[in-house]
Chain A
Amino acid sequence: MTTLWDTTGTEVVKALGEARRGAGMVSGLALTLVVVADEKKVAEAEVAATKAAAAHPCRVLIVVRRQIDAPQPRLDAEISIGGRLGPGEAVVMRMYGRLALHAESVTLPLLAPDVPVVTWWHGEAPERIAYDPLGVFADRRVTDAAQAADPIAALQIRAADYVPGDTDLAWTRATPWRALLAGAFDTLGTHRVVSARIAAAPKNPSAYLLGGWLRARLGISAEQTDSAGPGITEVYLKLEDDTELSISRHDGFSALMHRTGVQDRRLPLQRRDVGEPLAEELRRLDPDEPYAAALSAATGLVLDQRPRARVHVWRDAVPAAG
């Protein structure tokens, strides 16, 4: 592990090159993962990125923007290969002062050559991704509505700003629920669903996206109710032949599947930490159309015919991180 204090981007590139030669083992890189986190969340982001990197050979670049009002721009960097940040290559960069607004100047030369770039904001994402150059050069952009002060409003923002290639971890967190529901539907027959209800902790964005998905696929609008959580606690569906199907989870670990006429079953449905959904995100790097359909249905905004790329919009404002 190399640590550089008050350094420059060129020095970081050099140090990474040296570390790679020193490590001797240069494996195939599938992508570069750029992580944007603020100081309070950087440890959490590191753990998650390490977990994701264990499943997908990638170079992890963690960007921490600090003290944007500092008078002098400054860059500190930590480079590790096969160290505490997992088996791959990782660089943690802390940027101070005006440099924080030009993070791409350090990050661009560090991207692994000609492989896709995924940018993940672990924290509140910019209102428009075009404001953050780290999002503009990325092929996939991963936001996390659950990190926002108002997650439901954050979904609305994401829908307004949507461009193919955007996804949100709130959607990823709904995958296990969707898998169970789809599995249950495999044997439900062809009866129409007449009503649906989703219970979740207040303002749970995954519940809204799950509702959007049900609307997009089944054409029904699910009633959203609040519960004590954690996360989504129940999905209830009623079919036109009066069959009831419900999946409920109150402990965050395992779910009870109930269906009229069938013995109740207990199934594992564990809440996942940030690393696993992130690893799931990195599995596929093409636009996620079912996400767009669910987001569109959840927010009522039309998302098709958006441009496929963004152009950076300069905004000299202090981002949320500070």
Chain B
Amino acid sequence: MNRTGGLPTNPLRDPADRRLPRVPAPCALVIFGVSGDLAHKKLLPAVYDLASRGLLPPGFVVLGFARRDWTDADFEAAARDAIQEHARTPWQEEVWARLAGNLKFVPGSFDDDDAFDRLSQTLDDLRESHGILGNAAFYLSVPPTQFPVVLKQMERTGMADNEASGGWRRVVVEKPFGHDVQSSRELNELVDHVFTPEDVFRIDHYLGKETVQNLLALRFANTLFDPVWNSNYVDSVQITMAEDVGIGSRAAFYDATGAARDVLQNHLLQLLALTAMEEPVSFSADAIRAEKLKILTAVGIPEGDQRDLYAVRGQYEQGWLAGQRAKGYLEEEGVPPDSTTETYVAVRLLVQTRRWGGVPFYVRTGKRLPRRVTEIAVVFKKAPHLPFAETDTESLGNNQLVIRVQPDEGITLKFGSKVPGSAMEVRDVAMDFLYGAAFTESSPEAYERLVLDVMLGDSTLFPHAEEVDASWRIIDPLEEYWAGHKPHKYRAGEWGPKAADDMVAVDGRHWRRP
């Protein structure tokens, strides 16, 4: 099968012509669970934003599937609301006119064979009426428990078959990709069996963020950083993803999952892999994946007695956050009062390669922390010798390079500088590069980029099954250890439990306050 969707070379496209956008081949975007939150807040607005930037192919249809008693017109009205509320680009009737009439809806539940037959039939009809050439991307915006039934329905109806459809058929899966090695393997086997492995796109929306991609540019397009990007110069790395919100209405899902499976397994380990990986031989999906995979398989977790110290879980208690009283986790609606699910996790990981030997990677994530922030801080070693008097450099800390993923996307460099005045005194100053602020308004949302990449068939920014598998192999032993322990308590509105502070303190370090 032709990977570009059966297209011959186009005489109007010239590699030197960088103004012409990459536009996908005509296709349908089929969204399962289109009445859900993700479709409402992210997917439909992303489709509109793509339309408004002129990045959709002439033949393009959004086909919604959900258990709702909707007609095409109802779906269109719902989509219109979602877009007006959440789209990044301003509302324009002309752009909407391009989408309207190309929004179709098929009602049904996932165990309803008839509904899937209708869906399959609708796709076939659209091929003629809307010129989509048999290309379709299926977006599974459904709870993970429903994955198998939806996938089996697609297999039964032949919708997932590239050959039968005469175009490409791709599937997009949202996290969580299973809940341990075993379940993720089963899921992978199923989805790889129904589709072909290269047609499976696992969304980790962090990888769609401009700053994360910029990390690769920073590391591999410059000469300045690579020479010090190793254990000779780096003292430690801290990766933080903090949220100020609680669990909201996701109690059932969250209580069964916890912070380690929800965030550490995917976002944080992906950020760690991108930070630590060697230079890929090219900027292709395969080459980047190969390097990330090496890191993920080289990650060392705390073992034996060390686990008490270096693998810390926490659970928030009631407290005050941003001037408001916040409930404790156990008081949240839907959470069992004796739950031992963690809302915070901090782990000391090692990357067992020559480049990173002996450099601890402290990773942490939590809910109800003082503010929402995600950052990667590379902390450098102190100078081996300081020619100044000891008192002159008392307030000099470690040099740091901080990649701020969100908010205030950008880079901070922290280094020592002389305090103006007649005495020689050195203290830390921070130099900010604001990738964000006023300048990112025009940069695309993560979902916009990722949906486009799926339609283009570019899997560079999507974790592969092997990476997911390697990540679970890091998480599973930790979960096993935690299963017999209660999480530490921390107050909502503080930076995690004291045990997490102790964890870095025994190494003679401290957490950076993001």
Chain A residues engaging chain B, CB cutoff 8 angstroms: 25-28, 54-57, 82, 86-88, 172, 175-176, 178-190, 217-218, 253-254, 257, 262-263, 265-268, 270, 279-280, 284, 288-290
Contacts and interface: CB of A to CB of B under 8 A. Distances in A.
A185 B11 contact: yes
Contacts of A253: 94
A87 B436 CA distance: 11
B19 A280 contact: yes
A262 B13 contact: no
A141 to B, nearest CB: 17
B16 interface: yes
B58 A184 contact: yes
Interface stretch (B220-228, B316-324, B437-445): B437-445
A175 B20 CA distance: 7
Interface stretch (B126-134, B148-156, B258-266): B126-134
The number of chain B residues touching the other chain, given as a range, is: 35 or more
Nearest to A87: B438
B19 A178 contact: yes
Given A184-B58, A185-B11, A266 B98 contact: yes
Contacts of B97: 254, 266, 268
Interface in B425-454: 432-435, 437-439, 441-442
B433 A176 contact: no
A246 to B, nearest CB: 13
B417 to A, nearest CB: 15
Interface of A is mostly: mixed
A317 to B, nearest CB: 35
Given A54-B442, A87-B439, A266-B97, A27 B433 contact: yes
B8 A183 contact: no
Interface in B33-85: 51-52, 54, 57-59
B25 A182 contact: no
Given A187-B7, A263-B129, A179 B20 contact: yes
Nearest to B411: A28
Contacts of A280: 19
B54 A176 contact: yes
Given A180-B54, A262-B131, A267-B98, 20 more contacts: A26-B432, A54-B439, A54-B441, A55-B442, A87-B437, A88-B438, A176-B54, A178-B12, A179-B21, A181-B12, A182-B12, A182-B20, A186-B13, A187-B25, A187-B59, A217-B12, A254-B98, A268-B54, A284-B18, A288-B19
A267 B21 contact: no
B95 interface: yes
A28 B131 CA distance: 45
Nearest to B25: A186
Contact of A186 (B7, B51, B98, B438): B7
Q: Which 6 A-B pairs have the closest CB atoms?
A: A87-B438, A182-B12, A290-B17, A27-B434, A55-B442, A254-B94
B92 interface: yes
Nearest to B21: A179
A186 B23 contact: yes
B16 A289 contact: yes
Nearest to A193: B11
A25 B23 CA distance: 37
Given A183-B58, A263-B130, A190 B17 contact: no
B10 interface: yes
Contact of B434 (A28, A178, A290): A28
B366 interface: no
Contacts of A270: 92, 94
A175 B55 CA distance: 13
A191 to B, nearest CB: 10
Contacts of A86: 438
B484 to A, nearest CB: 50
B497 interface: no
Interface in B358-399: none
B12 A218 contact: yes
Nearest to B52: A268
Contacts of B98: 254, 266-268
Nearest to B100: A266
B439 A27 contact: yes
B26 interface: yes
17 contacts: A27-B432, A28-B434, A55-B439, A172-B19, A175-B19, A178-B19, A179-B20, A179-B23, A179-B54, A182-B23, A183-B58, A187-B25, A189-B8, A190-B8, A262-B131, A280-B19, A290-B14
Nearest to A292: B16
A263 B433 CA distance: 50
A150 to B, nearest CB: 26
B440 to A, nearest CB: 10
A261 to B, nearest CB: 9
